A and B are shown apart, each in its own frame.
Chain A
């Protein structure tokens, strides 16, 4: 698998505080990588390191296969765009002028494509209106448009939906999906609004206290969060045979436990198992969403 970004035991310490404590993560090409963590978990710090705003205390990372200590990292960075926390815009300039400034920074030969970018983020009709008079959502979209200047193939968005109204959230979400599908842009999106991330991400990285505690694909997460009946029986081999007969999907976890992905008639199931000399010891419904999955992962309230 091709990876856009690979980090290796990345650490960032501020005096005695360890903001990042050995972060190792991999972002596959073409993915929308949901970077999940609580406030202060280290999401923004990691993004700052990748963007070159800060230096790691130890560890390293590779961007497009180029190490951060390599001089060529500057060229690699020119292939990415980022919105770190708040959008970086000139408030006294119009949306178009802001993009022109970014085009100058990138050394683009002409301003062709600016109108297309403005249209893409829905700011084509802002005319002479200065960025300081934009709504929060408009500023966020302008920040994304600036990040998109120069056609990057890796986009980093740090909490892009923070403070947006529901309409703004939908607009930003649609935009990210569009960029990923139509332009094949790999996106690293950090957020602690898990429900929103679950509508976008193809891969997840969970960070807590400066460590990546789990990396998984959306399919794996879906599997983990799938609604099921968690059953404990005396023999799962018998349970498997009975469930096969009833054409019910399941997953055997060990000799005594299994997840059953349907709502069978439990009386019939219990009778069928009893006939095979298999007892049902316990049954509990397992219905986990991303939020509860994350809370379980980081240890919930006890973790505080």
Chain B
């Protein structure tokens, strides 16, 4: 396993600068968006912070499907690595990277939010102090949910690319991630439908999109959403490995 992890991390390290710049760019744009909309820094408000998790999901799919497209997946099996270790090494590498980048994203989000708050234009339309207080409280309650939801979304990227086992995995992951974008709308269209409410509670992408609404609820519990994200990850990892374990590779 350590050999596979070393290989995966090395590959990611080669793209690290690009990933870091993208993360910070999203963070700056997110903080800017949040300040524009609310006059304060709030993680769930900006579309950029909502998209960040799905971007990571798509990136995971693209990276892994490249291994299938280049046939470099074969090298791992030929030298005797087990399918379980291969699957898990991908998952660990991308989840760790997503976790670290989410931390960077949040850090930069706060930093740039503070910076933007010093700019005169944002001071003019700041919300009332009580609203600001709620945002501030909710922001810190939402952080752990966000920090778990983004790495959880990488399980979807790993699942799709390892199930398709070809170069299309990246594209299909991106399309799937894009489709997931629309699911939070169900919450608005059918606010009373229990199934849609459940789906949006469970899906990490919806958790991020509906963070502002969820965290404003009086009984908001970060633990509930963290558990849902964890369950989402466990189900996808188990299902993905079960499919990959018996799959014929070319």
Using a CB–CB distance below 8 Å, which chain A residues touch chain B? Answer: 48, 51-55, 73-78, 80-82, 84-91, 101-102, 104-107, 146-147, 150
B34 to chain A, nearest CB (A): 36
**Residue from A80, A84, A104 within 8 A of B7 (CB atoms):** A104
B85: nearest chain-A partner, CB-CB: A74
Q: Is the CB of A51 within 8 A of B7?
A: no
Q: Is the CB of A74 within 8 A of B3?
A: no
| Complexed CA–CA distance, A78 and B79 (Å) | 4
Q: Is the CB of A53 within 8 A of B81?
A: no
In terms of DSSP, what is the predominant structure of the interface of chain B? Answer: helix
| Complexed CA–CA distance, A96 and B2 (Å) | 22
Interface segment, one of B52-60, B69-77, B99-107, B198-206: B69-77
List residues of chain A with CB within 8 A of the CB of B3: 104-107
| Complexed CA–CA distance, A42 and B157 (Å) | 34
List residues of chain A with CB within 8 A of the CB of B7: 101, 104-105
Mark out the residues of chain B between 1 and 39 whose CB falls within 8 Å of any chain A CB in the assembled complex: 2-4, 6-7, 10-11
A156: nearest chain-B partner, CB-CB: B78
Size bracket of the B interface: 20 to 34
| Complexed CA–CA distance, A106 and B77 (Å) | 11
Check if B238 is an interface residue, CB within 8 A of chain A.
Answer: no
List residues of chain A with CB within 8 A of the CB of B250: 48, 53, 85
Q: Is the CB of B70 within 8 A of A53?
A: no
Check if B182 is an interface residue, CB within 8 A of chain A.
Answer: no
Q: Is the CB of A104 within 8 A of B70?
A: no
Check if B194 is an interface residue, CB within 8 A of chain A.
Answer: no
| Complexed CA–CA distance, A80 and B249 (Å) | 18
| Complexed CA–CA distance, A102 and B76 (Å) | 9
With A48-B250, A51-B78 as contacts: A90 and B70 at CB distance below 8 Å: yes
Query: Most A CB atoms within 10 A — which of B3, B72, B76?
Result: B72
Q: Is the CB of A78 within 8 A of B80?
A: yes
Q: Is the CB of A77 within 8 A of B80?
A: yes
Q: Is the CB of A76 within 8 A of B80?
A: yes
| Complexed CA–CA distance, A48 and B73 (Å) | 13
List residues of chain B with CB within 8 A of the CB of A77: 77-80
A77: nearest chain-B partner, CB-CB: B80
| Complexed CA–CA distance, A76 and B78 (Å) | 10
Q: Is the CB of B74 within 8 A of A84?
A: yes
List residues of chain B with CB within 8 A of the CB of A87: 71
List residues of chain B with CB within 8 A of the CB of A104: 3, 6-7, 10
Q: Taking A53-B77, A105-B76 as given, write out 6 further A-B residue pairs in contact, using a Cβ cutoff of 8 Å, ordered by the A residue number.
A: A48-B248, A77-B80, A81-B78, A84-B71, A88-B75, A107-B2
Per-residue CB contact flags for chain B residues 57-97 toward chain A (1 = under 8 Å, else 0) read 00000000000001111111111111000000000000000
**Residue from A90, A105, A147 within 8 A of B4 (CB atoms):** A105
| Complexed CA–CA distance, A101 and B4 (Å) | 10
A78: nearest chain-B partner, CB-CB: B80
List residues of chain B with CB within 8 A of the CB of A84: 71, 74, 78
With A51-B77, A51-B78, A106-B79 as contacts: A88 and B4 at CB distance below 8 Å: no
**Residue from A48, A76, A91, A146 within 8 A of B75 (CB atoms):** A146
| Complexed CA–CA distance, A73 and B3 (Å) | 18
A83 to chain B, nearest CB (A): 9
List residues of chain B with CB within 8 A of the CB of A86: 71
Instruction: List the 9 closest A-B pairs by CB distance, nearest first.
Output: A77-B80, A74-B80, A107-B3, A88-B71, A78-B80, A53-B249, A54-B248, A104-B7, A52-B77
**Residue from A48, A90, A150 within 8 A of B249 (CB atoms):** A48
**Interchain residue pairs with CB less than 8 A apart (28):** A48-B249, A51-B74, A51-B77, A51-B78, A52-B78, A53-B77, A53-B250, A54-B248, A55-B246, A74-B82, A75-B80, A77-B77, A78-B79, A80-B78, A81-B78, A81-B79, A82-B74, A84-B71, A84-B78, A86-B71, A87-B71, A88-B75, A89-B72, A90-B70, A91-B70, A101-B11, A102-B75, A107-B3
| Complexed CA–CA distance, A146 and B2 (Å) | 20
| Complexed CA–CA distance, A112 and B37 (Å) | 57
List residues of chain B with CB within 8 A of the CB of A53: 74, 77-78, 248-250
